[in-house]
Amino acid sequence: MSDELAMIVITDTVEHEDGSATYTFDLDDASSKKVTELGLELIITCAAYGLDIHDALTHLIEYGKSKETDNDNS
């Protein structure tokens, strides 16, 4: 395993009138490989459990927020 730091850099942001935005990223080879692996893992896991990806990400966000609250109360 390499000790080289993976980099993901936002190179451009365009905000749209409807409140959405378009982001452009520059990824090094290590980051590109990892993003691809994790993305495919998420897609396959969601398919295996019959989950919508948006719903799965919403649950992850809620879980993360609950962990932050748990840590704040420690």
Tell me the backbone φ, ψ of residue 22, rounded to 5 degrees. Answer: -115, 130
Res. 74 pLDDT band, cuts 50 70 90: low
**Look-up: residue for tokens 């420690």?**
74
What is residue 2's predicted lDDT score, i.e. its pLDDT?
Answer: 55
Asked if 18 and 46 touch (Cβ cutoff 8 Å), the reply is no
Tens-place pLDDT, residues 7-41: 899 999 999 999 999 999 999 998 999 999 999 99
pLDDT at 1: 47
The pLDDT value given to residue 39: 94
Whether pTM > 0.75 for this model: the answer is: no
Residues with Cβ within 8 Å of residue 9, at least 6 apart in sequence: 25, 26, 27
Average pLDDT over every residue of 50-70: 92
